[in-house]
C-alpha cells in the first residue's frame, strides 16, 4: 500500500492531525423483509431516526448561523422541513406496512423523489436535489448505524484534516476554523473554488487527490503539506519530524517576511509597486488590511449568492461592502460585480448550460437581469459614501457592455436620489481584462473606462482553451504561455498610454516567478491573497525592473511556457540565491 | 370548502424557503389544504408538494381548504404569499 498520496498543492502550510473523513454519499441499502409483528416497532424506529436527523440538522443550522450567517443557515431549515413532510412519512410508512424494513422503505421513497426533482423542467427544482440527497444520506446513516460525519461535530482544537470528495456550499458554511486545520479533496485544481477559499482562510489544502476519500479512514493520522501537495497516511515518527522541521522553516520564513509588511514595495532600481489584497468574504477585510495591502484590488461578490436560497437585498449587500470599505479606511476598494452564471442564481428559471464558462454569466447575465444588477449597483453607490469604491465589470468582450452598465449605474443613482438615500455619484467604472477579446480591444475600452484589471486565471483559460477546473488538464494550464504574456503586455501598454491604472488581480500574481514576470511586462499594481502580500512585497524589494524587463522580454519570445519559466526563474534565482521561499518548482504546480 | 386564488408576487418565486414557510403556516390548521397550479394539485402541508409547483414570479395559484378552520387557513396562507416572504 502506498502511504503517500500526491495531489495538487492548493494552499501552503503543513498540518499533522487526525483525519476527519466526510464520505458524503448515499450508502448502499440491502432489502430486508420484516415479519408482520415487527412492523409497529419498525415504524417507531423510522420516526425516531427522522427526529434524530432533525435534531442534528437544528444543531448544524445553529452552528452554521454562528459561523457563516443566517442566510447561509437557511438551507438547513429547508432540509428540516423536508423531514417534517407528512407525505414523506406516509409513503415510507406505507412501504413499511408492506413488510419493507425502514431503511429500504426510506431509500425507495427518496430515490423516487430525487428522480422527480432531477428531471423536473424547472431549474429551481433541479437545484433542490442537493437538499434531498443530504436528507437521504443523513437519515440512512442513522438507520444503518453509520458514523455521523458533520464537520461541525469535530471538537474545537482537534486540528483535524478534513478529507472529502469536494467542498460543497453546504459543507463550506459548516467549516469551523477552530476545529478544521487543513482540507484535502478528491476533486478540484489550484484555481478551483475550494483552493481559493482555503488560501483566503489561510488553511493548508491539497486538492485533486482523486481517491483520498477511499484510501483514508476516519481517525487515522496524516500529514498534509499544502506547499508540495502531499498527504502522508499514518506517517512514521521520522516522517513527521521531517515535516515538522519543514513547517518550522516555513513559519520562520513567513515571520521574516512579515517583518517587511510595513516596508515600502519599491524595486532595487526605485520603482514603486502598488500591492493590494484580494478579498472573498467581508470577514477577511481586517486581516487583509493588516497584511500591509494598500487597498483591495479585487473583492469578489459571489459569496452573496452561492449556496443561498434567495438573492441578497440592497441593504445586506450595502452592509457587506461597507464593512470592507471601512476596514481599508479610504484606500481604494475594487469591487467586482457578480461573476456567476444562471445556474448559481437562487432564483431558478434558467437552463443548465453544457458550457457554462462560455455561457450566460457575469456581465452578460447582469445586463439581461438588469433589476437584479441594479440592486447590486445601488448597494455599491451607497457604500461609496464610506471610502474609495471602484466598480469592476467581469467578462467584458465589447464596449457596449460598458456603455449599458454605465446607463444602469445612472439609473441606479437616480433611483437612490428619488428615495432620498445618500450615495456617491461618479464611482470609477473599470473592466476586468480576462478574455483575449478584451485585451485585443483594450484601446477601444480604454476610452470609456477608468481602469483595467487583468484576471489571469480566466485569461489563461480563455486564451489557451483549457478548462481550469479539469484535473486532467492541470499541466496544460500554463500562465507563462507566451500567448498569455503577450496579451498582458498589450493590455498594459495600451492602458498606460491612455493614462489608466492597469492592475493584475489573479491568484497567479502571488507566485514569485509570476510576480516577477508581471513587473517585467510593465504591471505596477498587483493584487494577491492577503497571506501572500508579504511574500510579494519581499520579491518586489529584491528585484530590479531592469532585470524583470529583460526576463519578460525573453519569456515573451520563448518557445513555450516551460521555456518562458526557465528564462524567468533563472534570473529570479540570480537575484535571490536559493532562498527557500522561492520553493522547488517556482510555480508550485 | 373555501377557495381563493392568489398571485406569486415575490421576485424569487416559491423557491425552497418560501415553500418551507407556507408548509409551516399550513401545519397550524386542522383543515386539509390543497394548492393548485394549472392541472397540478398538491398537499399544502407537504414541502415536496409545494416545491413541485415550481411557482415562479407572476404565477397564479388556487388555495383550497376543507375543514373546521378552512376560512382562516386560506386567509393566512394567501396573506403570507402576498407578503412576498420578506423579500424586497
Chain B residues in contact with A349 by the CB 8 A cut-off are: 13, 56
Residue A579 has pLDDT above 70, yes or no: no
Nearest CA-CA distance, residue B82 and chain A, Å: 17
Q: Which long-range contacts (CB under 8 A, 24 or more apart) does A74-78 make?
A: A74/A308, A74/A309, A74/A310, A74/B17, A75/A131, A75/A169, A75/A170, A75/A173, A75/A307, A75/A308, A75/A309, A75/B16, A76/A170, A77/B17, A77/B20, A78/A128, A78/A131, A78/A309, A78/B16, A78/B17, A78/B19, A78/B20, A78/B47
Highest mean pLDDT among A159-173, A301-315, A404-418, A530-544: A404-418
From the list A549, A446, A430, A445, the residue with the least C-alpha distance to A497 is A446
Q: Which of residues B12 and B77 earns the better pLDDT score?
A: B77
Supply the DSSP symbol for A240: H
Sign of CA dihedral A59, A64, A70, A71: negative
What total number of domains does chain B contain? 1
Rounded (5°) CA angle A292-A327-A501: 60
SS3 of A564, please? Answer: helix
Cβ neighbour number for residue A536 with a 10 Å cutoff: 28
The predicted pLDDT at position A386 comes to 96
The predicted pLDDT at position A351 comes to 65
Q: Across the interface, do A310 and B13 touch by the CB < 8 Å criterion?
A: no
Q: Across the interface, do A313 and B87 touch by the CB < 8 Å criterion?
A: yes
CATH number for the domain harbouring residue B44: 3.30.1340.10
Q: What is the mean pLDDT of residues A40-65?
A: 91
Interface test with A, best of B11, B15, B18 (most A CBs within 10 A): B15
Domain A269-530 has CATH 3.20.20.60: yes
Domain A4-23+150-239 has CATH 3.30.70.2860: no
Q: What is the mean pLDDT of residues A350-378?
A: 89
Strand partners, A9: A206
Per-residue pLDDT band for A342 (boundaries 50, 70, 90) equals: low
Q: What is the mean pLDDT of residues A170-194?
A: 77
Q: What is the mean pLDDT of residues A229-235?
A: 92
Tell me where in chain A the CATH 1.10.274.10 domain(s) lie: 36-143
Of A29-33, A157-161, A262-266, A585-589, the poorest mean pLDDT is in A585-589
Q: What is the mean pLDDT of residues A405-426?
A: 96
State what percent of residues in chain A have pLDDT above 90: 56
Residue A588 has pLDDT above 50, yes or no: no
Q: What is the mean pLDDT of residues A95-102?
A: 95
Rounded (5°) CA angle A569-A572-A576: 135
Q: What is the pLDDT of residues A441-489, one digit of tens each?
A: 999 999 999 999 999 989 999 999 998 777 788 889 999 999 999 999 9
3-state percent helix, strand, coil for chain B, nearest multiple of 5: 40, 25, 35
What's the mean per-residue pLDDT of chain A? 88
How many whole angstroms separate alpha carbon B83 and alpha carbon B78?
9
Q: Across the interface, do A81 and B87 touch by the CB < 8 Å criterion?
A: no
C-alpha grid cell, residue A221 = 493520522
3-state percent helix, strand, coil for chain A, nearest multiple of 5: 55, 15, 30
Chain A residues in contact with B13 by the CB 8 A cut-off are: 124, 347-349
The predicted pLDDT at position A192 comes to 61
Name which of B12, B16, B46 is nearest A85 (Cβ-Cβ): B46
Of A16-30, A193-207, A341-355, A409-423, the poorest mean pLDDT is in A341-355
Q: What is the pLDDT of residues A192-222, one digit of tens each?
A: 667 767 776 778 999 989 889 888 888 899 9
Q: What is the mean pLDDT of residues A580-588?
A: 50
How many whole angstroms separate alpha carbon B32 and alpha carbon B46?
11
Residue A174 has pLDDT above 60, yes or no: yes
Residue A501 has pLDDT above 80, yes or no: yes
Q: Specify the CATH number for A36-143; select among 1.10.10.10, 1.10.274.10, 1.10.1740.10, 3.20.20.70.
A: 1.10.274.10
Give the ipTM of the model, two decimals please.
Answer: 0.86
Sequence-ordered strand ranges (E) for A396-544 = 429-433, 451-454, 501-504, 525-528
Q: What is the mean pLDDT of residues A289-304?
A: 88
Of A69-73, A374-378, B22-26, the poorest mean pLDDT is in A69-73
Tell me where in chain A the CATH 3.50.30.10 domain(s) lie: 4-23+150-239
Sign of CA dihedral A213, A216, A219, A225: negative
Residues of chain B whose C-beta is under 8 A from some C-beta in A? 11-13, 15-17, 19-20, 23-24, 27, 43, 45-49, 51-52, 54, 56, 87-88
For B7, the domain range is: 2-86
Tell me the Cα Rg of chain A.
Answer: 26
Amino acid at each position: 500500500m502506498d502511504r503517500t498520496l500526491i495531489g495538487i498543492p492548493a494552499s501552503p502550510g503543513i498540518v499533522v492531525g487526525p483525519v476527519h473523513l466526510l464520505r458524503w454519499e448515499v450508502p448502499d441499502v440491502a432489502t430486508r423483509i420484516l415479519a408482520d409483528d415487527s412492523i409497529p416497532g419498525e415504524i417507531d424506529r423510522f420516526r425516531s431516526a427522522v427526529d434524530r436527523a432533525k435534531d442534528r440538522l437544528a444543531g448544524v443550522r445553529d452552528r452554521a448561523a454562528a459561523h457563516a450567517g443566517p442566510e447561509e443557515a437557511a438551507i438547513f431549515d429547508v432540509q428540516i422541513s423536508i423531514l417534517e413532510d407528512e407525505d414523506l412519512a406516509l409513503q415510507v410508512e406505507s412501504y413499511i406496512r408492506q413488510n419493507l424494513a425502514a431503511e429500504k422503505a426510506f431509500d425507495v421513497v427518496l430515490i423516487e423523489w430525487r428522480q422527480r426533482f432531477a428531471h423536473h423542467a424547472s431549474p429551481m427544482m433541479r437545484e433542490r436535489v442537493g437538499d434531498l440527497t443530504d436528507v437521504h444520506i443523513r437519515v440512512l446513516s442513522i438507520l444503518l448505524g453509520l458514523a455521523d460525519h458533520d464537520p461541525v461535530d469535530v471538537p474545537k482544537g482537534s486540528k483535524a484534516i478534513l478529507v472529502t470528495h469536494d467542498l460543497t456550499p453546504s459543507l463550506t458554511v459548516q467549516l469551523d476554523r477552530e476545529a478544521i486545520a487543513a482540507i484535502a479533496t478528491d476533486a478540484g485544481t489550484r484555481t478551483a473554488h475550494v483552493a481559493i477559499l482555503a488560501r483566503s482562510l489561510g488553511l493548508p489544502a491539497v486538492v485533486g487527490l482523486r481517491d483520498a476519500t477511499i484510501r483514508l479512514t476516519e481517525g487515522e493520522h496524516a500529514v498534509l503539506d499544502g506547499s508540495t501537495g502531499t498527504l502522508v497516511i499514518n506517517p512514521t515518527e521520522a516522517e513527521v519530524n521531517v515535516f515538522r522541521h519543514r513547517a518550522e522553516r516555513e513559519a520562520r520564513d513567513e515571520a521574516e517576511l512579515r517583518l517587511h509588511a510595513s516596508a515600502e514595495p519599491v524595486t532595487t532600481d526605485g520603482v514603486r509597486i502598488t500591492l493590494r489584497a484580494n478579498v472573498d468574504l467581508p470577514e477577511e477585510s481586517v486581516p487583509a488590511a493588516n497584511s500591509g495591502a494598500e487597498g483591495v484590488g479585487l473583492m469578489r461578490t459571489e459569496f452573496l449568492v452561492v449556496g443561498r436560497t434567495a438573492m441578497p437585498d440592497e441593504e445586506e449587500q450595502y452592509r457587506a461592502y461597507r464593512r470592507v470599505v471601512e476596514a481599508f479606511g479610504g484606500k481604494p476598494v475594487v469591487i467586482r460585480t457578480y461573476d456567476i452564471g444562471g445556474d448559481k442564481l437562487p432564483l431558478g428559471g434558467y437552463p443548465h448550460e453544457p458550457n457554462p464558462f462560455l455561457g450566460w454569466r457575469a456581465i452578460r447575465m447582469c445586463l439581461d437581469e438588469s433589476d437584479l444588477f441594479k440592486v447590486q449597483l445601488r448597494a455599491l453607490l451607497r457604500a461609496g459614501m464610506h471610502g474609495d469604491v471602484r466598480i469592476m465589470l467581469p467578462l467584458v468582450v465589447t464596449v457596449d457592455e460598458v456603455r449599458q452598465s454605465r446607463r444602469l449605474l445612472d439609473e441606479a443613482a437616480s433611483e437612490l436620489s428619488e428615495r432620498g438615500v445618500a450615495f456617491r455619484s461618479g464611482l470609477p467604472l473599470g473592466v476586468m481584462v480576462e478574455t483575449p477579446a478584451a485585451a485585443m480591444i483594450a484601446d477601444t475600452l480604454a476610452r470609456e473606462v477608468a481602469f483595467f484589471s487583468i484576471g489571469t486565471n480566466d485569461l489563461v483559460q480563455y486564451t489557451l482553451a483549457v478548462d481550469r477546473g479539469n484535473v486532467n488538464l492541470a499541466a496544460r494550464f500554463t500562465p507563462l504561455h507566451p500567448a498569455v504574456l503577450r496579451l498582458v503586455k498589450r493590455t498594459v501598454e495600451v492602458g498606460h498610454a491612455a493614462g489608466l491604472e492597469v492592475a493584475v488581480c489573479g491568484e497567479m500574481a502571488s507566485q514569485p516567478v509570476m510576480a516577477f514576470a508581471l513587473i517585467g511586462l510593465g504591471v505596477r499594481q498587483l493584487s494577491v491573497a492577503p497571506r501572500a502580500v508579504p511574500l510579494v512585497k519581499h520579491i518586489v524589494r529584491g528585484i530590479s525592473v531592469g532585470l524583470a524587463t529583460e526576463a519578460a522580454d525573453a519569456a515573451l519570445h520563448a518557445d513555450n511556457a516551460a521555456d518562458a519559466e526557465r528564462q524567468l526563474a533563472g534570473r529570479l534565482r540570480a537575484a535571490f540565491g536559493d532562498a527557500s521561499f522561492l520553493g522547488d518548482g517556482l510555480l508550485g504546480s | 370548502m373555501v377557495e381563493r386564488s392568489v398571485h406569486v408576487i415575490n421576485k424569487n418565486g416559491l423557491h425552497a424557503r418560501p415553500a418551507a414557510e407556507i408548509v409551516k403556516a399550513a401545519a397550524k390548521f386542522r383543515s386539509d389544504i390543497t394548492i393548485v397550479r394549472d392541472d397540478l394539485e398538491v398537499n399544502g402541508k407537504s414541502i415536496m408538494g409545494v416545491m413541485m409547483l415550481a411557482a415562479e414570479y407572476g404565477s397564479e395559484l388556487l388555495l383550497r381548504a376543507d375543514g373546521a378552520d378552512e376560512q382562516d387557513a386560506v386567509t393566512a396562507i394567501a396573506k403570507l404569499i402576498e407578503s412576498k416572504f420578506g423579500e424586497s
